[in-house]
């Protein structure tokens, strides 16, 4: 039987996963209206900026769950491969079949997209690299004390986030990890370690600390929106330099703050806890299917035309799409084999 602390920690992970899942759907709904100026551009910009932390949150979740515990490496790789490969192959086939080029054979397209990401399925490819590194990174994490891990994260934040932001704005050809040989402190690896660090050392147990997280998240997201607005006005077109790669400093701070806040929630009333647990359980399938539902609702049904309030149009669309994706995956998971891909 799990201890009370273990149950509370698991519930916090469910809340965090459900929140990140809702955020990624809102992000992609908002992104539909971001890339051209129009009446929905500013709302899209703001909703987009406030949900950009979703991908870092997902990666931090994986790090929090995997790095602190030790597991035989062969068993770890088998479990993770079974977790990633079936849904990656299944959903690649689904998306290529429905949205692929009609002038190219399905087999040729599959050969292409199984070696490079199809749209939002890029996240599975990131997970492959992170999972391959996890057994070794976990040993480093468990052997390091808090101060040593904190120094690693500071170095990662500078090389992977600060220099990445400067690269995007001033010199797209500049690659800090190549120039400085800092591959260990580059990419999404830092979010992986950060999740484990926050889970082990960053307990948010008081209202004051929770409010600190809320303020940090709000401030970082608002700054992202403001800077994106100013920069877009300057260049004369929508420009996402301040949150393009999920590795910019403001997005990292927003994701870290949101993760710390949501994972600190250890209990909720049953009327909230039950749907949160269901969304958490269905999160993989929701992530995979939601882009298809966005395309159907926005491009085929033109559902945005049903809503006439500028600022509520995107949230209402999001609610319809998120509920549809959740309901669909909940029903699909009743089919035994589908639980492996959804």
Span 153-170, pLDDT tens digits: 999 999 999 998 998 888
| Distance, CA of 100 to CA of 93 (rounded, Å) | 10
What is the overall mean pLDDT for the chain? 90
pLDDT over threshold 90, residue 325:
yes
Q: At what angle do helices 41-51 and 207-235 cross, to 10 degrees?
A: 140
What are the pLDDT digits (tens) for 102-135?
A: 767 767 777 777 677 888 999 999 999 999 999 9
The larger pLDDT score, comparing residue 187 to residue 299, is at: 187
Whole-model pTM: value is 0.94
What does the pLDDT average to over 76-103? 88
Least confident of 244-253, 259-268, 298-307: 298-307
> What pLDDT sits at residue 112?
74
Task: Name the band, by pLDDT with cuts 50, 70 and 90, for residue 227.
Answer: very high
Residues of the chain with pLDDT > 90: what percent? 67
In a 13 Å sphere around the CA of 179, the CA atoms on its Cβ side amount to 10
Mean pLDDT of all residues in 304-320: 87
Q: pLDDT class for 251, splitting at 50, 70, 90? A: very high
DSSP one-letter string for 158-203: IIIIIHHHHHHHH-TT--HHHHTT-GGG-TTHHHHHHHHHHHHH--
State the average pLDDT over residues 197-201.
92
Q: Which residue has the higher pLDDT, 27 or 173?
A: 27
| Mean pLDDT for the stretch of residues 65-89 | 93
Q: In the predicted model, what is the mean pLDDT of residues 37-66?
A: 95
Q: State yes or no: pLDDT of 1 exceeds 50.
A: no
Give the CA radius of gyration of the chain. Answer: 20
Task: Find the range with the poorest average confidence among 78-82, 96-100, 125-129, 252-256.
Answer: 96-100
pLDDT of residue 2: 60
* Least confidently predicted of 5-9, 229-233, 276-280: 5-9
Q: In this model, does residue 146 exceed pLDDT 90?
A: yes
d(CA 119, CA 88): 12
Residue pair 68/137 in contact (Cβ under 8 Å)? The answer is no
pLDDT of residue 205: 65
């Amino acid at each position: 039987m799990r201890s009370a602390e273990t149950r509370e920690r698991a519930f916090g992970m469910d809340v965090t996963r459900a929140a990140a899942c809702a955020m990624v759907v809102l992000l992609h709904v908002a992104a539909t209206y971001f890339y051209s100026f129009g009446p929905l551009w500013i709302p899209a910009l703001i909703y987009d900026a406030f949900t950009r932390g979703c991908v870092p949150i997902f990666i931090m979740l994986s790090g929090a769950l995997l790095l602190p515990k030790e597991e035989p490496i062969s068993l770890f790789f088998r479990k993770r491969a079974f977790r990633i490969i079936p849904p990656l192959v299944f959903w690649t086939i689904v998306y290529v079949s429905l949205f692929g080029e009609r002038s190219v054979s399905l087999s040729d397209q599959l050969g292409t997209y199984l070696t490079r990401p199809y749209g939002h399925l890029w996240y599975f490819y990131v997970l492959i690299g992170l999972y391959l590194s996890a057994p070794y990174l976990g040993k480093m994490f468990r052997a390091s004390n808090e101060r040593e891990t904190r120094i690693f994260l500071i170095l990662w934040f500078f090389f992977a986030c600060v220099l990445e932001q400067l690269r995007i704005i001033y010199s797209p050809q500049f690659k800090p990890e190549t120039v400085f040989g800092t591959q260990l402190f580059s990419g999404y690896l830092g979010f992986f370690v950060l999740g484990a660090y926050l889970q082990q050392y960053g307990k948010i147990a008081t209202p004051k600390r929770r409010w600190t997280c809320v303020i940090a998240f709000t401030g970082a997201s608002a700054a992202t929106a403001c800077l994106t607005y100013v920069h877009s006005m300057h260049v004369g077109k929508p420009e996402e330099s301040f949150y393009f790669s999920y590795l910019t400093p403001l997005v990292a701070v927003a994701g870290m703050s949101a993760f710390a806040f949501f994972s600190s929630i250890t209990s909720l009333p049953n009327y909230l806890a039950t749907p949160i647990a269901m969304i958490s359980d269905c999160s993989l399938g929701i992530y995979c299917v939601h882009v298809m539902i966005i395309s159907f609702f926005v491009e085929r049904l033109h559902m945005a035309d049903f809503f006439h309030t500028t600022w509520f149009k995107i949230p209402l669309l999001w609610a319809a799409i998120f509920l549809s994706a959740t309901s669909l995956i909940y029903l699909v998971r009743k089919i035994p084999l589908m639980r492996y891909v959804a």
